[in-house]
Structures are given as C-alpha cells and as structure tokens.
Amino acid sequence: MRKLFVTGGAGFIGSAFVRLLLDELPACEIVNFDALTYAGNPDNLAGLDPARHRFVRGDICDRAAVLGALEADTDALFNFAAESHVDRSIHSADEFLRTNVLGTQVLLDAARSLGARRFVQVSTDEVMGSLPERDDAFFTEDSPFAPNSPYSASKAAAEHLVRAAHHTHGVDAVVTRCGNNYGPRQFPEKFLPLMLANAMNDEPIPVYGDGQNVRDWIYVEDHCRAILLAAERGRAGAVYNVGARNERRNLEVAESVLDALGKPRSLLRFVKDRPGHDRRYAIDPGLAERELGWRPRETWQSGLKKTIEWYAANGEWLARARGGAYREFYERQYGEN
C-alpha cells in the first residue's frame, strides 16, 4: 500500500489529483491536508472512498499539525497548497508569503525529518515571467526566473527552497511547472469559471486590457497525470514544464465560451488592465514528453466541452462557491469598472 500525503487537496487541482490517485492507484492511501481557506471546498471531496482517503484540516505553516498528520513511511508528499490568485496577491501579498514560502519550508523540513521518500512541488510557468509575443519563444526548464506578480514571486521563492533542500539536505524533490488549468471545480474567481458563471447568468464578462494576453491552457486531469508521472519517473532535483501546446488569447477564449453557451458577444466588457499583467505564457513540454512519457489526452475542444458540461450540471456547487468570500472579492476587484 503506497502512502501519499497531499496538501491543498480540497482546492481545484488538488481535488482532481486526489480523484486521479484513487482511480488509478488502487493500492494507495491518501492523507489530504488542507486549511480550507476561501478556495478550499469540502464539496470538492464529495463521494471519495473513506477507506483510502482521509481528510485532515490543517495549515501547512503549522509545524506541529504537519508533523502530526504526516506518517513516518510516506512514499510521496505532493504540495498543492497555496494562495493561487494573482489579483489577490496584488491587493495584498502577506498570505502568499506565509503559505507559499514559509509553508513550503515547513513541509520540506517535515518531509526530511520523517523520511518521506519523495517531495513533489506543484509550481507554475509564471515563475518565468512574461514571454515576447513572437511565436517561436517558449518557456523551457532553463528559462530564467523572472516573476512579475507577488503570487509568482512567492512560487519562485518556494521553488528555490525546494532546490535548496535537495542540494543541501538531499531531499528527493521534483518540481512541475504548469500553465493555466481549466476544468471542473475551479474557484470562480479565475478567468475561465468566472466567464462561464457570468455568461450562464447573462452577466458581463470582464476582459482585462486589450484582451490580447496569451495563456497556455491545459485540462486539469492532464496536468494531474503529469504530476503523477513526475513522482513516479522524474529525476530527483529535476524541474518539468507541463503544457498542452494550447496558446490562446484571452479574447479568443472568452468568445469560445460565449459561442459554446450560445450567448451574445455583447456580454464582453473591456475593463482596466491588471497592473503588471504578463503578456504571454507558452510552454515547451518537450522534457516531460521525453523523460516522463507524458502526453495530454484532451484537446482544447474536448476539455472545454467537458468543463462547460460540468458547470452546467453543477449549479449548486457554483452558487455556493459564488457566495460570501467570492462576492466580497468580486466587489473589490470589479466594483470600479
């Protein structure tokens, strides 16, 4: 029986990863450690097998809580827990430094002291900053760090700590850096579910700046498969970029969503740009393809279709996620526009 420790497993990607583990690794037991911040959602864990999945509410910055929950012979620790929204990090960076930086170090220390066999840090392409609009420029594992938002700076700092723990203390660590995920159960402050939710309710869709920023979109399950392969086949100390070769301009993404829902383009609203808005992300996933044997299974069309169907079928989930903390943030972020 493999023992796995997942942090942030009540969030969007972490909960998809836990589902993937339970589906694909019959002989595994998972401890899912999550603080249930505004982005953590117990609804995301509905229906999981209690015999193989144990939820523990706890903060990764709380050393005693982490040491209490992490079992001594854990095979792999996957760190998904993070503050993850760029716009929130622009309002205030404090929680980003606490969770993303200090929390990662607490986990590295705990993994080392309890002898966890492998540490997987779930990072982001955003640590490499913004690419020029040329279509022959891509992020590789050798691209320099150039984070531009407090969010990406905190994720870059976390990567440095993982690297240092590997180099200095011999922690067996692997880092994955992925682009923009989409799929079921994404908190609706992020662009794709925000558009879906607004359009389904005939509310305007806020598009920052000129809408020409480019993101490299990947279906969440494809990302999760890459993380699992990195844990199973990745070289200790290595970084793997994960992307589905699916660059899209924001405006094109917004139009696809409106078209798929049969909603008019008149719902688009150009609003004030995000300060420091990265222009383009584009990932060269060649190393993950060669060394991990990873390939995405979904196309943009199939992934978007699945995503839209999930949100359409899960109106209650969406209505609950769009309550309290979400509304407060929405007013602050979009109120002036």
For residue 39, the partner it binds in ligand TYD, ligand NAD, none, with Cβ less than 5 to 8 A by kind, is ligand NAD
Q: How far is the CB of 121 from ligand NAD (least distance, A)?
A: 8
User: Residue 239's beta-bridge partner residues?
Assistant: 175
Considering the rule CB under 6 A, would residue 208 count as an interface residue with ligand TYD? yes
Select which of 29, 59, 83, 151 is catalytic.
151
Site for ligand TYD in 82-101 (CB under 6 A): 86
CA distance 77 to 68: 14
Closer of 159 and 172 to ligand NAD (Cβ): 159
DSSP string covering 187-242: -TTSHHHHHHHHHHTT--EEEETTS--EEEEEEHHHHHHHHHHHHHHPPTT-EEEE
CA distance 9 to 69: 14
Considering the rule CB under 6 A, would residue 39 count as an interface residue with ligand NAD? yes
Select which of 29, 125, 216, 298 is catalytic.
125
SS3 category, 94: helix
Among 53, 155, 166, 190, binds ligand TYD (CB under 6 A): 190
CB contact at 8 A, 294 and 225: yes
CB-closest chain residue to ligand NAD: 11
For residue 239, the partner it binds in ligand NAD, ligand TYD, none, with Cβ less than 5 to 8 A by kind, is none
Amino acid residing at 235: R
| 151 part of the active site | yes
| 126 part of the active site | yes
CA dihedral 51, 52, 53, 54 (to 10 degrees): 60
CA distance 78 to 227: 9
Q: How far is the CB of 126 from ligand TYD (least distance, A)?
A: 6
Q: How far is the CB of 87 from ligand NAD (least distance, A)?
A: 12
Q: How far is the CB of 335 from ligand NAD (least distance, A)?
A: 22
> Which residues are known to be catalytic?
125-126, 151
